[in-house]
Amino acid sequence: MSASELRINVLQERISILNQVAKYLMSSIENKQKMKLNLSKMNITEEIGIDVVEKEL
């Protein structure tokens, strides 16, 4: 392999890793938004402790 082919392979590997990180971060954001929506449906906010949540349930 030539030096440029090796460099391309390294860059492709890095892009693949960055894509995986981006996918993870996006899924974390989506999960947090779903959690907030579920909490709002229960008329509670994130700041309320678990004892209040258990009481409401």
Domain that holds residue 27: 3-56
Tally of domains in the chain: 1
pLDDT of residue 34: 80
pLDDT of residue 22: 84
Got the DSSP string for 1-57? Answer: --HHHHHHHHHHHHHHHHHHHHHHHHHHHHHHHHHHHHHHHTT--TTS-HHHHHHH-
Q: Which percentage of the chain shows pLDDT scores above 70?
A: 70
Give the model confidence (pLDDT) of 22-36 as tens digits: 888 888 888 888 877
The encoded tokens of residue 41 equal: 């449906």
From first CA to last CA, the distance across the chain in angstroms is 63
